[in-house]
Amino acid sequence: MLIKYPLSFKRLATLFTALTLLAGCQIESQPKSELDQIRERGVLRVGTLNNQLSYYIGPDGPAGLDYELAREFANELGVKLEMKPAYRMSSLYPALKNGEIDIIAAGLSQSEERLKNFRAGPVYYYVSQQVVYKKGQWRPRNLEQLLERQPSLIEESSQEKVLTIVDDSHFKNSLSEVQQKHPEFKYSVDINADVNELLKQVSNGDLQFTVADSVEISLSQRIYPDIALAFELTEDQPISWFLNRSDDESLYALLIEFFGGLQQSNQLAALEEKYIGHVNSFDYVDTRAFIRALDSKLPKWAPLFQEYSDEFDWRLVAALAYQESHWNPKAKSPTGVRGMMMLTLPTAKSVGVSDRLDPEQSVWGGVEYLRRMVGRVPDSIAEHEKIWFALASYNVGYGHMMDARRLTKWQGGNPDAWADVKDRLPLLRQKKYYSQTRYGFARGDEARNYVENIRRYYQSIIGHVEQQNRDNEVGGIDDLTVIQVPENDLYSTDDTVSGAEAIEQTEEEKQ
């Protein structure tokens, strides 16, 4: 008996093929994940702020804490990095919402408003909101004192409000909470200003009070030394990057993994030490004198530093020269050091300097000797930190610097990290420590202060130059710099910002 099937084998095969093709089309039509889109595009687009912490253009190209982190993240993704710098935070939010950028990396805190609209990445440091005033004027030590005196301050200044902030939810939310508890409290919002502009107004006496993040204030004090802390408005708040909120967690998941790896490897701590490790120390009198010198002396000597700095950042050469001589080419000391870079006679002879009081010879000789000294620093130390070890060696001696490294290792620290070694240098004054070292007693605290002073001067010069650029330019989200991500690691020598000093070989080094 012949059985008839409803479909022939040929028709069945044709139907199966069609269904397979249809299913394939449906799979292909599914939207790609955010991570896949970035990889397919070949570019990670990062919005940031153009300032001395997050992102700026240095003599060797782009620099900044958020830039270096973004560069490494793009490197991990295997794509190019595209930085979109803005001068104001308000420019970044619409760019993220509209898909013009993938991430905001600008040192922003996790305010309630930001968390409502965007997804926060892992925390990488903390700041507090602080009320600042001009040194020498009346200082409110807490919110209650400010509220109590607010009416008389308004009357004296002929202004409706004595405290002005930038147009940012980070600060507006904090002050709104104050206003809910104290309806009489008044403040204004300047929609056209950035934090740096308001801090400058406070420093000039044009504004009585403003609110800024603690790290930004510490950095700005190197440019505006009259800015001072009145009181803390908030507790420490977490800082993170921000992404768009969506059901797609591909980019977010990789970001968590990325920051976790940086923390475990101590790369994150090293970067934070590089950019903000020096901010807690501030000398008002010294900084005021230095700021005056930036205007009165630096313009004359900057071309000299630029000409002879060679591979080193001229601004760090300038910072070193200020630490040595306060930019006085005829400087002399009772111990026999002379000139702009305060070279000893043996050091001068070793680098071919015949006249230590000739500023050109002094700067050239100092940079040349620095090059030799940096070359002696162990290669296990990251390129961007070698300069600090070299400067410490000049001040306290190479042997004592190595003693501090050995002491650091003995105490469980990292002998290749300046953040760890600088904390052990002062221990070389204490007998229970120096008696166990090869070279014995040393004024290690002076060496640490010496290096940290140079770092502060250096940061001030960077901020001063950036401020001049900011005064002459108008920036926005359309300013675009496309950077080819290097294939090497985070501490690529191609991206190193370094500096110089005239370093003398001591008797300890010769042993």
- Provide the annotated active-site residues: 324
Nearest to 506 by CA among 323, 341, 346: 346
Backbone angles phi, psi at 228, to 5 degrees: -140, 155
Spatial separation of the C-alpha atoms in residues 153 and 133, rounded to whole Å: 13
Q: Of all helices (H) and strands (E), which one includes residue 485? A: none
Q: Is 383 left (phi over 0), alpha (psi -120 to 50) or beta?
A: alpha
Quote the tokens at residue 50: 């153009």
**Which residue do the tokens 């420490």 mark?**
236
DSSP bridge pairs for 48: 85
Nearest to 372 by CA among 316, 310, 417: 310
Nearest to 205 by CA among 226, 175, 178, 230: 226
Spatial separation of the C-alpha atoms in residues 119 and 111, rounded to whole Å: 11
The neighbour count for residue 487, using CB atoms within 10 Å, is: 8
Residue 125: C-alpha distances to residues 70, 118, 215, 234, 239 (Å) = 16, 19, 10, 15, 5
Quote the tokens at residue 458: 């250096």
**Which residue do the tokens 């100092």 mark?**
366
Which distant-in-sequence residues (6+ apart) come within 8 Å of 332 by Cβ?
338
Burial 440-468, CB ≥16 within 10 A → b, else e: eebbbeebbbbbbbbbbbbbbbbbbbbbe
**Which residue do the tokens 């490294």 mark?**
405
DSSP bridge pairs for 338: 332, 343
Q: Sort 322 into a burial class: Cβ within 10 Å, 0-12 / 13-18 / 19+.
A: buried
Backbone angles phi, psi at 278, to 5 degrees: -105, 0
Q: Are 344 and 357 in contact (CB under 8 A)?
A: no
Residue 246's SS3 state is coil
Beta pairing, strands 103-109 & 210-213: unpaired
**Which residue do the tokens 């200003």 mark?**
193
